[in-house]
Each structure stands twice: as C-alpha cells, then as structure tokens.
A = this chain, B = another copy of it.
Amino acid sequence: MAENVACIKRFSAKVITKFICQAMVATGMPRADARIVAELMTEADVNGSDGHGIFRLPGYIRRIKEGGLNLQPNIKIDKERSGMALVDGDNAQGHLVMRFCAEVAIKKARDSGVAWVGAHASNHAGPASLYAKMPIAENMIGLYVAIGNANHLPPWGGIEMLLSTNPIAIAVPGMDSPPIVLDMATTVAAYGKVKTAAQRGEKMPQGWMIDKQGEPLTDPNKSGDGFLMPIGGPKGYGLALMFGLLAGTLNGAAFGKNIIDFNADFKTPTNTGQFIIAINIAAFGDVNSFKKNVDVIYRTMKASATLPGYDEVFLPGEQSYRKRQDREANGVPVHNSLLVSLNNLADSLGIPKLE
C-alpha cells in the first residue's frame, strides 16, 4: 500500500476546514453547525484517519442533498439519570450528536464519577477516537463505541451480512507522554480502508476480506461480493455483536437487518447508534499519580526488546500522534483521486476549489 507521492497534494488544516465548512453551508447546513462538523472532520484528517475526514465529504453532501439528513435538528436528552443519558440525535450529522453526547457525559461524570451516554437517531460521526479523546482535557478517560453504517460482516460461519465493523476507541491521558488512544474496528480492516484502497486503485492485502466461498478477496472494487474478516475469528464477531447490542439495540437505534447502508441509500434516516463513557479519574484517586503511572506504562512498553523484523514497539495512538506532528507542520495529504472528486463537488456547489 505504498503511496505514490506524485499523486498527493498537501493542504493546511485551516484550508481543509474552510473548504468543508463552505461546502456544508452551500448545501444548507447552518454556519455554526457546519463549523463544528468541519473542524471535527479536519481533526480526523490531521490525526491520520484518512478514511474519516474530508474523504467523507462527497457522501455527506449527497445525503444532505437527497434529504437523508436533518439540517435543523433538535438534539436533546430523551432520558437521564445520574450515571447515564439517552440522547435523541434527531437525524442530525453524527458529529453534532456525538459532540453533544460527549459534553453531557463529561458534565455528568464530574459528579457521578462515571457517565454513559448513548444516542439514537444519530449518523456517521467520523473516527471513534475523536470522541473518546474529548474527555481527556477534563482529566477523564473516554470510551466510545459506534455501529457502522453498512453491514459487511456476517456472523462467524455465516454468509449473511448482518453486522458492521462496530469500532471501539479508548483514550487515556498521560502526564508527559502523549495520551494512549486505541481506535479499532472489530474487523481486520475498517471498511473505510477498503473504500480508500478502491479510490486509489490499490489492491487489498489477503486477510482483509473473503468471498462467499471463503476464498481471499483482494480487489476492493469487488468488495460487494465478499465480506470483512473479524479479528480473532469468532471473537471479533462476538465483539461486533455485543457492541451492536450496546450501541444499537439498547439505545433504540438500528442494528442487524435494520441497518441502512449509507453507501447505497442516501434518503432513509440511518438511526445510527453510538455511546460514549466518561470516566472521571479523580473519583478513583489522585489524577497526577494516575497520569504518572500511565507514563510508566508508556515507557515500559516502548523499552521492550523487539522481535526479528520489528524496529520499535508502538503504543496505541502513537503513530497517529506522529502523523499529527507531520500534518500540523506540513499539511494534510490529499490523494489526487480525492482532490478531483472534491473539486467536482466544489463546482457543483459553486464554492472555491481546493487548491
């Protein structure tokens, strides 16, 4: 999956944010909401989540244009107790819903110690780590789970696509070390990576997908003929299923056969489910002691001798953190195929091109 550097241009986060914001406003999203969505989408790109930032813009715009998204939502708490809330996303852009949920979780966890906030009637919200990281600034740990918006995973041993990649992210703050941030799909590869490979004209490695006869599938353009492989076989299937019950069924959101494939249907509300947990470290003990202990774990892992063929041990989120340093300094790389698609979009919306 080597990238052809000649096909890549870089744009500053500011330029990316402005472009996304203009596109959203041109499609009818109120400017304040468009700003929030644009900043979170750009944040995804800066963090290296290439399948979840500006790459998603054409799909999001198409959903708005076809009437599948509510541009004047009333995002609100449906039910709440001291340790939880259930939020009605009112079919808003997922970024708006999950930012709202993260704020509710953080506010509740200040008193309750731990707060779990679920959402229904939400939508795709970008990478899981965006939201898991929000509690960090408040000296809290974040945990986020989402239902994927297209079923590409059958139950283990089956061939009917009833499950999605249902990702989990967990973010833990350190004192001097960067936060440790896991962001993973329950499948070997997230579907966003398949889409990115297709757009770039690249093959997929064996192990990402199999076809309905159980044979390896490596052409991302044929992804509709096969399905993603769960991590650890039945274990990844089990995680995808349980996360689906927690983020979907428990919240009154779609799961299983009710999932709307947002790559094929841009009109029907997706009723996406997600949840976030904020864990107030101070409720468990001294915050600085905890953070220093996280630093010790960080350094201990980094110091491990390596297997033949490995130069270095990475902490979860460390490679994203390095990408962030690079992209803040040198801009966000945009592959030529994506740039063409974005500038066609700009033309159709009557906004300035990305250049």
Binding site for B on A (CB under 8 A): 79-84, 86, 108-109, 111-116, 118, 141, 154-160, 162, 170, 172, 180, 182, 184, 188, 212-214, 231-232, 234-236, 238-239, 241-242, 244-246, 249-252, 255-257, 277, 279-281, 283-285, 290, 293-294, 296-297, 300-301, 303-310, 312-316
A-B contact pairs, 21 of them (CB 8 A): A79-B285, A81-B112, A83-B108, A83-B112, A84-B280, A157-B313, A158-B304, A158-B305, A158-B306, A158-B310, A159-B304, A160-B303, A160-B305, A162-B304, A180-B242, A184-B232, A231-B231, A231-B235, A241-B315, A244-B297, A252-B285
Chain B residues near A180: list those with CB within 8 A. 241-242, 245
Chain B residues near A250: list those with CB within 8 A. 141, 279, 281, 284, 290
Expressed in whole angstroms, the minimum distance between the Cβ of A348 and any Cβ of chain B is 39
Given A79-B284, A157-B306, A231-B235, A170 and B297 touching (CB < 8 A)?
A: no
Chain B residues near A158: list those with CB within 8 A. 301, 304-307, 310, 313
B316:A238 contact, CB within 8 angstroms:
yes
Chain B residues near A212: list those with CB within 8 A. 307
Chain B residue nearest to A319 in the complex (CB): B234
Expressed in whole angstroms, the minimum distance between the Cβ of A203 and any Cβ of chain B is 20
Chain B residue nearest to A312 in the complex (CB): B157
Expressed in whole angstroms, the minimum distance between the Cβ of A294 and any Cβ of chain B is 6
B307:A238 contact, CB within 8 angstroms:
no
Q: How many copies of the shown chain assemble into the complex?
A: 2
Expressed in whole angstroms, the minimum distance between the Cβ of A216 and any Cβ of chain B is 13
In the bound assembly, the distance between CA atoms of A122 and B180 in angstroms comes to: 25
B235:A184 contact, CB within 8 angstroms:
yes
Chain B residues near A300: list those with CB within 8 A. 162, 256-257
A241:B312 contact, CB within 8 angstroms:
no
B83:A304 contact, CB within 8 angstroms:
no
A284:B118 contact, CB within 8 angstroms:
yes
Expressed in whole angstroms, the minimum distance between the Cβ of A24 and any Cβ of chain B is 31
In the bound assembly, the distance between CA atoms of A238 and B158 in angstroms comes to: 27
Given A82-B111, A86-B284, A279-B250, A182 and B239 touching (CB < 8 A)?
A: yes
A245:B84 contact, CB within 8 angstroms:
no
Expressed in whole angstroms, the minimum distance between the Cβ of A281 and any Cβ of chain B is 7
Expressed in whole angstroms, the minimum distance between the Cβ of A325 and any Cβ of chain B is 20
Expressed in whole angstroms, the minimum distance between the Cβ of A121 and any Cβ of chain B is 13
B84:A284 contact, CB within 8 angstroms:
yes
Expressed in whole angstroms, the minimum distance between the Cβ of A1 and any Cβ of chain B is 16
In the bound assembly, the distance between CA atoms of A280 and B82 in angstroms comes to: 12
A310:B157 contact, CB within 8 angstroms:
yes
In the bound assembly, the distance between CA atoms of A113 and B118 in angstroms comes to: 12
In the bound assembly, the distance between CA atoms of A115 and B277 in angstroms comes to: 11
Contacting A242 at CB < 8 Å: which of B108, B246, B285, B316? Answer: B316
Chain B residue nearest to A231 in the complex (CB): B232
In the bound assembly, the distance between CA atoms of A309 and B213 in angstroms comes to: 10
Expressed in whole angstroms, the minimum distance between the Cβ of A192 and any Cβ of chain B is 15
B114:A214 contact, CB within 8 angstroms:
no
In the bound assembly, the distance between CA atoms of A158 and B309 in angstroms comes to: 10
Expressed in whole angstroms, the minimum distance between the Cβ of A142 and any Cβ of chain B is 11
A155:B238 contact, CB within 8 angstroms:
no
